[in-house]
Structure 1
Amino acid sequence: MKTFLAVIPALLAHVTLANAADLPFRETVLRPSLPASEPAGWSGAYVGVQVGAAAEGAFRGETLAPLPTVSGRTSLGGFAGGGTVGYNIQLPPHILGGGVVLGIEADGGYASFRSESSVALPKLGFSAEGGLGTDTYFATLRGRLGYAWGPLLAYATGGWAVSEIGVSGGVTVPGFSVPLPVKNLPAGLPVAIPGAISFGGFSAAGGRSMPVDGYVVGAGLEYAVMPNWTVKSEYLYADLDRTVAVRAGPYTARFNAGFDVHQLRIGVNHRLNWL
C-alpha cells in the first residue's frame, strides 16, 4: 500500500507534462512603451495680433543735386498695432536635430509715429505749428529663420516694409497797421493821402502725404503656452524713404524724405490645425 501511494505523485507529474506538450506554444514579446504624447511642433499656418511702440527713430529729409545739399532730422515717437498671418515649416529630425524652423510672415495695421513743433507769440497774436507723421498704415512682408527648443522658438527676420508720411502745418499772422508820416504837404493837394497802411492778417493750414517703403530686420522669441497658442516678444528696425521731384517752371528740384524707427512689439498667435 505504501508503495502504491509513493507512485501516485510520479504518475500525476507524467500526465501533466504530457498534456502540456499538446498545448499550442505562445511567445511573449516585450515591446517598448511609447510616450503618451508627442510635441506638436511649429509647422503650419497661424494668425495673430501684435502691438508695439517706437523706442527710437527720426524723420529725415535731404535735398539732392542740382540743389545744394541741405539735410535735417527730427526725433519721432508713437505706437503701431495690427494683425499677423504666417506659415512655418519645421525641418525633420535628421537635419540639424529637427529644430530648424523656416517661415514667412506678413503683418499690417495702423501706425502713429509723429514729430511736432510749434511757435507762438501770444502778445502779438502770431502762431505757427508743423508736424510729420504716419497716421496711416504700416505693413511688412518678412521671412523668418529660427531654431526651436521644444516650446521655445528664437528667430531672426527680415524683408520689406511700406507706410506713408505726411507733412502738416498752419500759421496765424495778426493784422497790423503802419502809419505814414505826413509832413510838408503842399496846400490844396487834390488827392487825399491815407495816414496808415493796414494789413488784415490771415490764418492758413494744410498738409500733404506720400508713400514710402524700404527694408525691415529684427529678431524675436516665441513661446508655446498651449498646443495651438503662442506669445511672442519682437524687435524690428525699419528704414523707409522715397525720392520725389518737384518742377517749378524750367527747373526741377529733387529731394529724399523718409523715416527710420526701432520698434519693440508683443503679440499672440493662434495656429490653424487645418493647414
Structure 2
Amino acid sequence: MIKIISGAATVLLLTGVAAPALAQNWMPNWDARPEWSGPYIGVYGSATKANDQDDERLRFDRNLDGNFGDPVVTAAGADAFSPGSCGGSANTGAIGGGCDDDADGSEGGVRAGWDFQFGSFVVGAVAEYSGFAGAEDSVTSYSTTPASYTFERKLENLAALRARIGYAYGPALLYGTAGAASGEMSNQFYSSNTQNSFTATTDDDQADGYQAGGGVEYMLAPNFSVTGEYLYTSLEAPEFDVRVGRGVAIATNPFVLTPNTTGTDMRRSNGRFGLHAVRIGMNYRF
C-alpha cells in the first residue's frame, strides 16, 4: 500500500508540477511578443514573371508627325501587317504568326529598414536595391513580306522605397507594403527583315513607378527573422522608337511609300512594364 501511494504521489507530482515545467521549457511560447521596433538589414531572392500582354502590338507613324496610329499599307492598299501581333519573341517556326512566351526570371537584392511598434501594430519604412536576370517583356508583329519585328525590354536593376504596416501575432508579423520604385531598363529590337534599315531614335533607360504587396516576417531569434512576400511592380517604361528606312528595299516598300519616302517610325503599344515577384529573405535586427 505504501508503495502504491508513493507511486501515485510521484505520478501526481510529475503531472501537476513537472509536466508544466517541461512544457514551459520545450513548447513554443505563443504568447511571446518580440520587439519589432528598431533598424534592420536583410537580403532576399525572388522568382519573377513579367506581365503578358496578349493584345499588345506595334504602332506606326508613317508621316513622322509624332502620332503613332497610322496604318502601313502596301502599294495595292492592303494592310502590310495583316498577319497580326502577339506577346513574346518571334517564333521562327511560325512565320506569319506565333510567339514564344517570355521566360521567367530571378531577382536578388539587399534591404534596410526601420520599424516602430505600437502595441500589436507595426509601421515602418524599407529601402531596397535589386538586380535582375531574365526580367523581360517582348512583343512581335508580322508583316506579309513575310517578316517579324520584335521589341524587347529588360529590367536591369531597381531601387524602391516603401512604407510598411503590419500586425504582430506571436513571433509573426503580417504586413502590407507600398511605395515608389525606379529602375534601369534596356531595349532591343530584332527583325528578320534584311531589306530595310532600322535605327533607334530614342533610348531612355529610366523607368519610374510603384510597388505594392504583402507578406509575413517570422522571428526565429531576438535578432534574426525570415520573410516571405509577394510584390507587384509597375513601371512607366521609357519610349523606344525605331525608324525604318529604305535600306536596299524597292521603292514601293510599304515603309517608304510616297508621299513620305523618308521612312516610318514604330514603337510598341504598351507603355507599362509589370512584374510579379515571389520572394524569400532574411533580416538581421539591431
TM-score of the aligned structures, taking structure 1 as reference length: 0.57
Instruction: Find the aligned partners of 1:130 and 1:72 in 2 and give their Cα distance.
Output: 10
Other-structure match for 1:263 = 277
Paired residue total: 197
2:220 pairs with 1:225: yes
Q: 1:133–1:78: structure 2 CA closer, same or farther, 3 Å change rule?
A: farther
Partner of 1:236: 231
What is the one-letter code of the residue matched to 2:273? F
Give a deviation string over 1:103-146, Cα, whole Å, max 9, x none. 1001112013024689xxxxxxx997855243521121100000
Q: Does 1:45 align with 2:46?
A: no
1:213 aligns with 208
Distance 1:151 1:234 in 2: 16
Structure 1 residues 68 and 130: alpha-carbon distance in aligned structure 2, compared to 1, 3 A threshold: closer
Q: CA RMSD in A?
A: 4.4
Mapped to 2, the partners of 1:62 and 1:99 lie a distance apart of 51
Are the equivalent residues in 1 in contact too, given 2:47–2:278 (CA < 8 A)? yes
Question: Structure 1 residues 264, 105: closer, same or farther in 2, change over 3 A?
Answer: same
User: How many Å separate the matches in 2 of 1:58 and 1:241?
Assistant: 16
Matches within 5 A, 1:141-160: 141-160=161-180
Distance 1:209 1:132, change over 3 A: farther
Q: Which amino acid in 2 is paired with 1:49? A: V
Structure 1 gap segments, 5+ residues each? 1-36, 92-97, 119-125, 175-200
8 Å contact kept, 1:114–1:131: no
* Cα distance in structure 1, aligned partners of 2:196 and 2:49: 39
- Name the amino acid aligned to 1:239: S
Secondary structure at 1:134's aligned position in 2?
Answer: strand
Q: Report what 1:103 is aligned to.
A: 124
Residue pairs, 1:95-134, within 5 angstroms: 98-112=119-133, 113-115=135-137, 130=150, 132-134=152-154
Determine the C-alpha separation between the residues in 2 that align with 1:247 and 1:170.
10
Confirm or deny: 8 A CA contact 2:216 2:228 kept in the other structure.
yes
Whole-Å separation in 2 of the counterparts to 1:114 and 1:245: 15
For 1:120-199, what aligned pairs fall within 5 Å after superposition? 130=150, 132-170=152-190
Structure 2 match to 1:90: 117
CA–CA separation in structure 1 for the residues paired with 2:241 and 2:196:
27
Distance 1:219 1:146 in 2: 9
2:250 corresponds to: none
Q: TM-score, normalising length from structure 2?
A: 0.55
For 2:49 and 2:160, locate their aligned partners in 1 and report how far apart those are by CA, in whole Å. 18
Does residue 1:67 correspond to 2:68, yes or no? yes
User: Which stretches in structure 2 are left out of the alignment for 5+ residues?
Assistant: 1-28, 61-65, 72-84, 89-100, 141-145, 244-261
2:178 maps to amino acid: G
Q: As a proportion of its length, which structure holds more strand? A: 1
2:110–2:129 CA contact under 8 A, matched in 1: yes
Moved more, 233-242 or 81-90: 233-242
User: Does structure 2 conserve the Cα–Cα contact (< 8 Å) formed by 1:132 and 1:165?
Assistant: no
CA separation in 1, counterparts of 2:157 and 2:230?
19
Distance (whole Å) between structure 2 residues aligned to residue 104 and residue 247 of structure 1: 40
Q: Is the 8 A contact 2:45 2:281 kept in 1?
A: yes
Q: Where does structure 1 differ by over 6 angstroms across 4 or more consecutive aligned residues?
A: 59-62, 69-72, 126-129, 201-207, 245-249, 251-256
Structure of higher CA gyration radius? 1
Q: Which amino acid aligns with 1:271?
A: R
